Amino acid sequence: MPASSANKKKHVAIIGAGVIGLSCALWLQKKGFKVSLVDPSPPGSGTSSGNACVIADYGCIPINSPSVFKDLPHLLFSKDSPLALNPLYVARHLPWSLRFLAHCRPTKVAHIKNQLAQFLTKTYDGLNPLLELSNTKHLLRQDGMMHLFKTKQEFEAVKADREFRAQQGINSIYINSDEIRELEPNLKMPFECGLLTKAARRVLNPQTLSNTYFDCFTQQGGKYIKLRTKQVQANEDGVTLHLNNGELFSADKLVVAAGAFSTQIDGTGIAHLPLDTERGYHLQYNGLQHLLNRPVTWNRRGFYLSPMDKGLRVAGSVEIAGYSEQKNQRRLNYLQRISSQMLDLPSQPDQEWLGFRPTMPDSLPIIGHSPRSTHIVLAFGHHHLGLTLAGITGKLVAELLNNEPLCHDISAFSPQRFD
């Protein structure tokens, strides 16, 4: 794609150097923009570093579900629930929870599923050019992905979701317990059946992917400002960022890609948006990647076991409890207890990690212009799918700022949908 010479001198600042911000940066550079990334933390070191490594282009089933109402007692009170809530936090942020529940109604869930499914079909249109550009194709493996079901009832409970995925052309084949054992001989717990999605890919290490994207970005002249943006001022000509060392930084355009923290920056006109965080955890076991041949998930338990380049990661769980950095030991114990039922794992992991998924109550991202200024583009809220959707989000952001026709209809991702 030829870089437009008209953009040569246009300067875009991006707040946030997670996988979303980095992907926007590379796509904008491809279009000829001059780009600066602003982030106090090392690139890719936030939520983007600790995920389950799966390019989940099959992941069109949101956590919003009509069954939430029926399952709530189990979800809230069972020690083996994949979900945990801090009642005080939920009570203080009741509007988000009520909106989330409102988006668990069947018509809303159907809309979310359709939107996610359509968007996910574009995953590789956004990702492949970045892998090519940054020479990172070797970081992706296509070994498939396995959903496991302990009982026939567990399998039957997801019948509608299975059928929906099949209608979308997502090809998952049924495997019985013998086939599971053959494909993953180290699984010690018997599973009744599974679904194997052969086309699924995984990233060997999401931090390495971000590092390589970042190197590519700087090699192409990108500037990195290792500071926090406190406030943004938009005027007729562009934007000015107020940084936490007191300096001002001006650019023609701005992309807000600060993940779960995006609405906490003053002056962007989006403080009213219902962004919250689904806290997620991982445990990592160094040197144990050989225990699995592909990512697996015991569907009902809400986390993945993913083989990486140098270890095995157990990643997932959802906790609604706000932005405190303090880890909830019960969530970590949950991951450890259940994963140890599945594989022979040491009693102590080598790493315990907490991250903050950026989540809107309708499980759709925000991609579009800020209501405050056409100089500001928003790109956040990718909840469980940020690694997967980063490339296509970057492509869309670059198309928006380049005033080109968009490769995907983003009206469902508009920030105005909550007005």
The footprint of ligand FAD (CB under 6 A) covers 15-21, 38-41, 46-48, 50-54, 56, 228-229, 257-259, 261, 265, 280-282, 315-316, 355, 357-358, 380, 382-388
Cβ contacts of residue 358 below 8 Å, gap of 6+?
47, 259, 260, 261, 262, 275, 277, 380, 381, 382, 383, 386
Of 32 and 301, the one with the shorter C-beta distance to ligand FAD is: 301
Q: From the CB of 4, what's the least distance to ligand FAD, in Å?
A: 26
Q: Which is nearer to ligand FAD, 387 or 412 (CB)?
A: 387
Q: How far is the CB of 381 from ligand FAD (least distance, A)?
A: 8
Nearer to ligand FAD by C-beta: 363 or 388? 388
- List phi, psi (to 5°) of 166: -60, -40
Q: Measured from the CB atom, is 45 or 177 closer to ligand FAD? A: 45
Long-range Cβ pairs for the range 107-114 (8 Å, 24+): 108/64, 108/362, 109/62, 109/64, 109/65, 109/66, 111/412, 112/62, 112/64, 112/362, 112/363, 112/364, 113/60, 113/61, 113/62, 113/164
For residues 38 and 193, which CB has a smaller minimum distance to ligand FAD in the complex?
38
Asked whether 217 and 27 are in contact (CB, 8 A), the reply is no
Residue linked to tokens 């001989």: 185
Closest contact distance (angstroms) between CB of 385 and ligand FAD is 4
- Shortest distance, CB of residue 2 to ligand FAD, whole angstroms? 28
Q: Cβ 379 to ligand FAD, closest distance in Å?
A: 8
Q: How far is the CB of 332 from ligand FAD (least distance, A)?
A: 12
Closer by beta carbon to ligand FAD, 377 or else 385: 385
Distance of closest approach, residue 26 Cβ to ligand FAD, in angstroms: 13
Tell me how far, at minimum, the Cβ of 198 lies from ligand FAD, in Å.
Answer: 17
Which residue, 38 or 146, is less far from ligand FAD as judged by CB? 38
Q: With respect to ligand FAD, which residue has the nearer C-beta, 32 or 256?
A: 256
